[in-house]
Amino acid sequence: MASLGARIKELRLKAGLSQRELAKRVQVSFPHISKIESDIEPASTELLERIALEVGGDPDELILLADRLPDELRQAVAEKPDLAPRFLRSWKAGRISDEDVRNLIPDEPE
Amino acid sequence: MTSRKTWPRAQAAHEDEANRILARYASFCAWTPCLPVPVEHIVEGYYGLTILCEQLDEPPGQTILGALSPQDKAIRLNERHIDLFDRCIGPETFTLAHELGHWVYDAVDPAQGQLFGVSADGVVFCRRVDGGQTTDWDIREVNANKFAACLVLPAELVRKQIKSQFDSWRAFEAAARDWGASQSTLKIRLQTLDLEWCLP
C-alpha cells in the first residue's frame, strides 16, 4: 500500500499540479506540502480533505492512509460501542467475509 | 566509493544533452515544446525524483540553495532560502535543473539511484553560490550549471522567441519572468547563444 505522501504526489501529478500550485490552492506553504509528500510532516484531517478536493481524490482514502478515521465514521463507531467494534473485529478476523460486507451494503444512489 | 570520471564538457554537449531530454520528455508526456520549460514536472513526472523543501545546513560563508540525495532519489531545496524562491522567478527552477544535471551527468547508474561520493547522510551535491573551478567537484558544479541553463532556456526555443531587440529593460524583465528564468540567467544565456544584440 502506498504511503499517504506517495499517494498525494501520485494524485497531484495526475491532476497536473506542481507542489507550489497545490500549496497555493489549499492555502499552506510549499515546504509543508513537500514534507507531507515525503511523509515527514503530518497533515490535518481538514487539510487532507482540501487536498483531496483539489487533486480529485477520495478524502476518506487520504484520511485512512493517515491512520485516522473520518469524523463521521469515528462518530458512528462511538455511537454503537456494543456493535461496531465487534463487527470490525469479526471482519478483520475473517469471520465475516468481504462478500458478506458487500451484500450488506445497499446500492449507492446514482 | 565508486567515482565517475568528470571533465569540463563543451557547451555543445550541454545543449545536446538538454535537447535529448526535452525531446524524450515531449514524446513521453505529449508536451509541445515552449517556454517556460516545465522543469519541475520533468524532475518529478519523467525522472521520478522527489522534491523536498527543508532546512539544509550551510557551512560558514556558504549559501546552499539545493542538494541531491541520490539514495532517496530526492532533490532538496533549502528552506532557509524560501523567501528567495517565493520572491524571485528563476532560482528555484534553476536549482532543480542544476541538481537534475548532477543526476544525469554524475550518476554511476541513475537507475539504481547511486552517485559517486555519497556522504554518510546521503547528501552529495549542493548548489553553492561561490566561485572556483579547480577540483573535480567544481568541474561538476560548472557542468551542472551549464546544463541547467540549457534546460531552462533551450537554444531553439529562445531563438524562436527572439524576434527583435528588447525595447527596454522592463521588456527584458518580463521575458525572463514569462520564460521562468532569472534576468541574470537569461542575460548569460543570450550571450552564450550570440544573441547579445537583442539586449536593450
Interface contact B20, partner A, CB < 8 A: no
Instruction: State the pLDDT at residue B123.
Output: 42
Distance CA B141, CA B64 (A): 12
Distance of CA B37 to CAs A44, A69, B21, B68, B155, Å?
33, 41, 12, 21, 12
Instruction: State the pLDDT at residue B1.
Output: 34
pLDDT tens track for B107-144: 665 444 444 444 444 445 566 655 544 577 788 889 99
Residue matched to cell numbers 567544481: B138
Phi, psi (deg, nearest 5) at residue B196: -60, -30
- Tell me whether residues B82 and A31 touch, CB distance under 8 A: yes
- Tell me whether residues B52 and A18 touch, CB distance under 8 A: no
Which among A58, A4, A26, A37 is positioned nearest to B40, based on CA atoms? A37
Q: What is the mean pLDDT of residues B28-55?
A: 95
Instruction: State the pLDDT at residue B125.
Output: 54
Residue matched to cell numbers 524583465: B173
Asked if residue B65 lies in contact with residue B93, where contact means CB atoms within 8 angstroms, the answer is: no
Burial code (b: 16+ CB inside 10 Å, e: under 16) for A38-59 equals beeeebeeebbbbbbebbebeb
Per the rule left: phi > 0, alpha: psi between -120 and 50, beta: everything else, B90 is left
Phi, psi (deg, nearest 5) at residue B114: -115, 135
pLDDT tens track for B154-180: 999 999 999 899 999 999 999 999 999
Asked if residue B130 lies in contact with residue B62, where contact means CB atoms within 8 angstroms, the answer is: yes
Instruction: State the pLDDT at residue B139.
Output: 86
CB pairs under 8 A between A and B: 34
- Tell me whether residues B53 and A40 touch, CB distance under 8 A: no
Q: Is pLDDT above 90 for B97? A: yes
Closest-CA distance, A97 to chain B, in angstroms, reads: 38
Distance CA A15, CA B125 (A): 31
Q: Is pLDDT above 80 for A55? A: yes
- The ipTM assigned to this model is 0.81
Distance CA A3, CA B81 (A): 28
Which among A15, A19, A16 is positioned nearest to A5, based on CA atoms? A19
- Tell me whether residues A29 and B50 touch, CB distance under 8 A: no
Closest-CA distance, A53 to chain B, in angstroms, reads: 21
- Tell me whether residues B44 and A13 touch, CB distance under 8 A: yes
Question: How high is the mean pLDDT of chain B?
Answer: 86
A45 grid coordinates = 484531517
**Does the bond joining A85 to the residue before it have cis omega, within 30 degrees of 0?**
no
Closest-CA distance, B86 to chain A, in angstroms, reads: 9
Instruction: State the pLDDT at residue B114.
Output: 41
pLDDT tens track for B15-40: 999 999 999 999 999 999 999 999 99
